[in-house]
């Protein structure tokens, strides 16, 4: 057995990681009353998040994980209630779909209604918080997920790194699309390693169409399951 003596903080945290993470909390971002971003065709982010979270739950279960869905009923208004509900989980994954800053939005008409869209940016983003007590394994899993998504044909969006108000999110792992977002409430109040996935940009008209295809959800869910399977079983 390897001595823990002299290990850095990240390695020490890995040494404390259970041999097999049994439960993944899958948090469905937002709730029915305030459903998050509205897509270019008028569909609420919560609905995208729920569909993807359910697919992710199935893929994780197929890998042998237990899954605790959080907020799937659409009534969870308190962000801290989400991490409390997930207190016993080994990992916390928050599932979201993205928008862009208002300056990048334009108007178009879809099915008789005026809608906002922004096609300038496309792709996924991942976030971890330096205020989470388990940053090293959070980042390890975020990087693994970014890498797996890229391998599956997805691309990280760069819009959260843009030096403008509301963005300016420092990269934790630029190649794999991972940013620091220290004050994201679910990430900083989670006691276990945590990451937030923005699966794609639903105000982008192309991204929305891609994200609406069941096969896309399957691919993203498979990437999540593969990445978490690898990163949560890593021991040193």
Residues interacting with Zn ion, by CB under 5 A? 29, 36, 96
Question: Hey, how many other C-beta atoms are within 10 angstroms of the C-beta on 108?
Answer: 13
Residue closer to Zn ion by CB (options 44, 231) is: 44
Q: How far is the CB of 37 from Zn ion (least distance, A)?
A: 6
Q: Nearest approach, Cβ of 95 to Zn ion (angstroms)?
A: 9
Task: Report yes or no: 29 and 46 within 8 Å, Cβ to Cβ.
Answer: yes
By Cβ distance, which residue is nearest to Zn ion?
96
Q: Are strands 125-128 and 113-117 parallel, antiparallel or unpaired?
A: unpaired
CB of 30 to Zn ion, least distance (A): 6
Judged by beta carbon, residue 199 or residue 221, the one nearer Zn ion is 199
3-state secondary structure of 125: strand
Q: C-alpha distances in angstroms, 108 versus 28, 83, 98, 105, 115?
A: 29, 38, 19, 10, 5
C-beta of 198: minimal distance to Zn ion in Å? 7
CB of 151 vs Zn ion, minimal distance in Å: 25
Nearer to Zn ion, 133 or 166 (CB): 166
Beta strands 171-173 and 125-128 are unpaired
Closer of 36 and 123 to Zn ion (Cβ): 36
In terms of CB distance, is 43 or 96 closer to Zn ion? 96
Residue 79 to residues 27, 60, 86, 94, 177: CA-CA distances in angstroms?
10, 23, 11, 11, 24
């Amino acid at each position: 057995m390897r001595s823990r003596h002299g290990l850095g903080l990240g390695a020490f945290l890995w040494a404390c990681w259970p041999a097999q993470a049994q439960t993944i909390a899958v948090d469905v971002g937002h709730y029915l009353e305030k459903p998050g971003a509205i897509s270019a065709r008028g569909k609420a982010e919560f609905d995208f998040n729920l569909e993807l979270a359910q697919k992710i739950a199935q893929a994780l279960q197929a890998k042998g994980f237990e899954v605790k869905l959080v907020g799937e009923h659409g009534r969870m208004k308190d962000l801290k209630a989400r991490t409390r509900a997930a207190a016993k989980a080994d990992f916390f994954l928050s599932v979201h779909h993205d928008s862009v800053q208002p300056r990048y939005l334009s108007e178009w008409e879809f099915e008789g209604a005026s809608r906002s869209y922004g096609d300038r940016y496309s792709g996924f983003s991942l976030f971890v918080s330096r205020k989470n007590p388990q940053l090293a394994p959070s980042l390890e899993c975020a990087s693994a997920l970014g890498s797996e998504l890229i391998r599956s044909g997805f691309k990280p969006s760069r819009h959260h790194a843009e030096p403008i108000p509301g963005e300016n999110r420092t990269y934790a792992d630029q190649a794999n699309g991972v940013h620091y977002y220290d004050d994201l409430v679910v990430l900083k109040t989670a006691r276990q390693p945590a990451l937030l996935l923005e699966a794609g940009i639903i105000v982008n008209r192309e991204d929305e169409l891609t994200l609406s295809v069941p096969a896309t959800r399957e691919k993203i869910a498979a990437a999540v399951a593969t990445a978490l399977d690898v990163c949560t079983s890593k021991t040193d």
